[in-house]
Amino acid sequence: MGTPILSRTCWFSGARAVGTVGWIKNFRKLAVVSIALAMANSPAAARQEPREGTPVTYSPELLLELKQIQQAALGSDYALRQLAVLTNKIGPRLSGSAQAQSAVEYVAGELRRLRLDVRLERVLAPHWVRGEEKAELVKFPGQVSGITQKIVLTTLGGSVATPPNGLTGEIVSVGSFEELNALGRARIEGKIVLFNCPFDQKMAAQGFGREAYRQIVPYRTGGASAAARQGAVAALVRSAGDSDYRLPHAGFMRYSTDAPQIPAAALTGEDAELIEGLSKEGPVRLHLTLTPQTLPDAESYNVVADLKGSEHPEQIVIVSGHLDSWDLGTGAIDDGAGVAMVLQTVRVLRDLNLHPKRTIRVIAWMSEEFGGIGGKAYARDHKGEASNHVAAIESDHGAGHPLGFSIKAKQTVRPILDPVSRVLQSSGAGLIGFTEDIETDISPLADAGVPCFGLWQDDRTYFNYHHTAADTLDKVVPEELAKNAAIMATLAYALANLAQPPPR
């Protein structure tokens, strides 16, 4: 596990040193990587950028408290037990569903049990239901008479339905929006467009899963409208994730106002390859039946709870994860794990009887998967208090082995948090990275100038399971979940107790 991390560190430093620009903008950890003390004399360390600002020291009391928090989280299975409730007992928590509401009630109850002041803040939750989803090739080169071939896919969230008995069309496979537009209406009208744009598994294997995902997710979100503009009757997109186990990856799509709304589904990488291969030999026709429904928005909630600050109760440090999930799996890595870390943060502070100087505000967000609805609602409803939000943390990238945390804020925030990274170094999580790509729910706060933080996890297997039926509790390694919770709790307490709020 150490090798890829080291190579990433060296590689970025080297890339910056030779001034490579352009492509590197796609990557998440753009800036300085704070390295383990043990590596201080390594060649990689020699290539680090000079640190800005003067070294910051914490009081011995604060450092001791941070270590106590870290150890308490590492030694506890509470987060895992919370995650087991969310996944195995409540189950899939699709926006607008009864299970999503059950998760609201469960988490609110647990926070009350931890003696927090809990509020439910209203969110209008999109309520889309999946229905039937099936597809088969009904004509293809070399077809055995009377035989069709099943295609494995899943309807994209927000998609409209096909006619009840389905639709049939020839598939045109394209590798990009440019290729689609070059073919134009003459070649696309009346057809089914397949965006066969593979998830870069090699990039993900190097620890850049998030970047690989970002490269192709525009086809999932915008492919249907792009295809409809050229007259297509349906859009298929190759799943935005690994394709080793013939699993379709669900996800959100949205329609533009300038194109007809056509049905859209994600098919497995394997099925995309199958169709691509057959298409090279001759026409391939697909019969597609999708019966989702968009129901009226549901009344739902962000669960918001305050652990009141002892000196600056009006100043807020958010710790958060999102309650809703996709419906194929049980939402363990996305994002039951994040909510479990948040609950653990509070439980540890209560158990240790520690009182943060600023308010630590827990938020379990609703409807992240349908466009970050809860995060946007919070930013809108609390607009007047943006300046009181001194920091916001969200974990929404699974529960893989954590390497540290990432920051979307001014570079001058980093030296202030070096003492935290030194504490976290003992569990292998001492890296600090800067990112432009912060978690969805807190990104409106980042846009308002609030310093924002994410957890930096090893995501080399995350996109095997992300938004699939295999996102289940067994994918979470208990010790790694505990390490993640330790970061969230330690970082939150430090931010809540800094002498000055982090610069913005």
User: What amino acid positions are annotated as catalytic residues?
Assistant: 368
- CA 359 – CA 7 distance, rounded (Å): 39
Residue 418 falls in which region: left (phi positive, over 0), alpha (psi -120 to 50) or beta? alpha
Strands in 358-365's sheet, in edge-to-edge order, are 117-129, 293-307, 358-365, 312-322, 389-394, 452-457, 402-408, 431-434
Nearer to Zn ion (CB atom), residue 65 or residue 334:
334
Using alpha carbons, select from 388, 341, 376, 351 the residue that is nearest to residue 488. 341
The least CB distance from residue 397 to Zn ion, in Å, is 8
Nearer to Zn ion (CB atom), residue 401 or residue 466:
466
Six-digit token pair at 296?
């009226």
Angle (CA) 256 257 261, round 5°? 70
Nearer to Zn ion (CB atom), residue 210 or residue 483:
210
- CA 122 – CA 299 distance, rounded (Å): 7
Nearer to Zn ion (CB atom), residue 211 or residue 396:
396
Amino acid at 215: Q
State CA 200 to chain mean position distance.
17
Nearer to Zn ion (CB atom), residue 169 or residue 218:
218
Three-state DSSP class for residue 386: helix
Question: Tell me, what DSSP letter sits at residue 87?
Answer: I
Identify whether the C-beta of residue 135 lies closer than 8 Å to the C-beta of residue 151: yes
Residue 209 dihedral angles phi and psi, to the nearest 5°: -60, -40
The least CB distance from residue 335 to Zn ion, in Å, is 4
Nearer to Zn ion (CB atom), residue 110 or residue 471:
471
The least CB distance from residue 364 to Zn ion, in Å, is 12
Nearer to Zn ion (CB atom), residue 334 or residue 480:
334
The least CB distance from residue 423 to Zn ion, in Å, is 27
Identify whether the C-beta of residue 227 lies closer than 8 Å to the C-beta of residue 180: yes
Q: Which residues bind to Zn ion, rule: CB under 5 A? A: 334-335, 396
Q: Which stretch of DSSP H or E encloses residue 266?
A: strand 264-267
State CA 448 to chain mean position distance.
20
The least CB distance from residue 407 to Zn ion, in Å, is 19
Nearer to Zn ion (CB atom), residue 358 or residue 467:
467
Using alpha carbons, select from 351, 352, 360 the residue that is nearest to residue 389. 360
Nearer to Zn ion (CB atom), residue 233 or residue 337:
337
Residue-wise DSSP of 484-498: HHHHHHHHHHHHHH-
Six-digit token pair at 429?
């999580």
Query: Cβ contacts of residue 197 below 8 Å, gap of 6+?
Result: 175, 176, 216, 219, 237, 238
Query: Cβ contacts of residue 179 below 8 Å, gap of 6+?
Result: none
Identify whether the C-beta of residue 137 lies closer than 8 Å to the C-beta of residue 162: no
The least CB distance from residue 68 to Zn ion, in Å, is 30
The least CB distance from residue 324 to Zn ion, in Å, is 8
The least CB distance from residue 465 to Zn ion, in Å, is 12
The least CB distance from residue 100 to Zn ion, in Å, is 13
Identify whether the C-beta of residue 487 lies closer than 8 Å to the C-beta of residue 402: yes
- CA 20 – CA 32 distance, rounded (Å): 15
Identify whether the C-beta of residue 92 lies closer than 8 Å to the C-beta of residue 325: yes
Nearer to Zn ion (CB atom), residue 133 or residue 396:
396
Residue-wise DSSP of 418-444: HHHHHHHGGGT--EEEE-S---GGGHH
The least CB distance from residue 327 to Zn ion, in Å, is 13
DSSP β-bridge partners for residue 322 = 365
Identify whether the C-beta of residue 343 lies closer than 8 Å to the C-beta of residue 282: no
